[in-house]
Amino acid sequence: MTDTAGQLAIVVLNYQDYEMSQKCVSNLLAIGVESPVFLVDNASPNASYEKLKSCFSGNKQVTVVQSDKNGGYSYGNNYGIHLAGKAGNVKYICIMNPDVILEQNFLGDLCNILSQHDDYAAISVLMFRNHRFEADKISWPIPTKRSLYRELSLLQRDCPQKFRHDVLEGSLVQTETLPGSFFIIKYEIFKQIGFFDENVFLYNEENILGIKLKQKGYKCVLDTSRYYLHNHPEYSKDKVIDRYKHEFGSILRDYRYSYMSRKYLCKAYYHRRNSGKLFLVHVMNLLMLYIKKFYIEFMYRDRRRSREKKKTQRSEKRNGNNRGNPSRRSGWQE
């Protein structure tokens, strides 16, 4: 094991999808990653923990543990980080989502970049998301007082802020935030800022991390010469329609996580500025979600009636042909 490999610990957080997590960790082993991997099952209600435990039993490089509760992204990752910190001489922590795949082992190179600069706190690389390159999903500016509430609006989702990156050296550029799906951070700096803020269940973890690092005078860095694959699930048009008809509760739940985390961000890091405007945007978003639900149900009803009508017409046409042809009706042939 190289010096860098011994100083890096990788945390992968699983929730219910043990097959994806197994594929992620197995891929790390296949490309020659020698660093210890802490695979945390975030109190999944299915048999994920038992499946993963069985899969990597006997592999000393992979530690499979289960958190005592599903406290969200921040809680689950912190659970793994604390275990990694107790395990040994850890200088770097790699946070990796289970839907991330690396085609090459460049983890040591990223650690070396961080080691050469005291003010570099965290680093990531380019992301190809479902075979597409989306710049605004890799890094974005820390929210301003105005964008704090504008970004929550469902009307603004397709209008990301413009953001320029300052080139530091070579392929390295400075940014204010890094994607929570994959990054490496210095352990002592992470510890200094209190690791992930566990007051948010899901969403805005990257914004909070960027704010805390910037307050301490540290930089986030993006290496544009390397990339990773992020196989994030996407919904087809038919799946979206089906979710609004049959899983609207889960849509409201996911949106609630988004709003509550943004509300906490406003309260804790912006001294409640624009909290009133944030609430108004929240009310508008709920109204839009319900309007979309009723619209889809209405349109889907008409589409279903149309399909049933065409099916009936085809059936009547076949029956009519059978009545006009005795041999087809009886099945008798000469």
List Cβ neighbours of 324 (8 Å cut-off, separation of 6 or more). none
Total-model pTM:
0.85
pLDDT band at 331 (very low <50, low <70, confident <90, very high): very low
pLDDT of residue 329: 42
Considering only CA atoms, which of 114, 116, 95, 112 is closest in space to residue 3? Answer: 112
pLDDT, tens only, 139-162: 889 998 888 888 888 876 555 566
Amino acid of residue 153: S
67 neighbors 169 (Cβ within 8 angstroms) = no
Task: Give yes or no for residue 319 having a pLDDT over 50.
Answer: yes
CA distances from 248 to 106, 152, 240 (A): 41, 19, 10
Rounded mean pLDDT, 290-318: 72
Total residue count of the chain as it appears in this document: 334
Task: Give yes or no for residue 19 having a pLDDT over 90.
Answer: yes
pLDDT of residue 163: 67
pLDDT band at 305 (very low <50, low <70, confident <90, very high): low
pLDDT of residue 123: 98
If one compares 275 and 113, the residue with the highest pLDDT of the two is 113
pLDDT band at 52 (very low <50, low <70, confident <90, very high): very high
pLDDT band at 323 (very low <50, low <70, confident <90, very high): low
The greatest distance separating any two alpha carbons of the chain, rounded to the nearest whole angstrom, comes to 93
pLDDT of residue 14: 98
Strands, DSSP E only, in the chain? 8-14, 37-41, 62-66, 92-96, 100-101, 120-129, 132-133, 166-169, 172-175, 182-186, 219-230
Rounded mean pLDDT, 294-320: 68
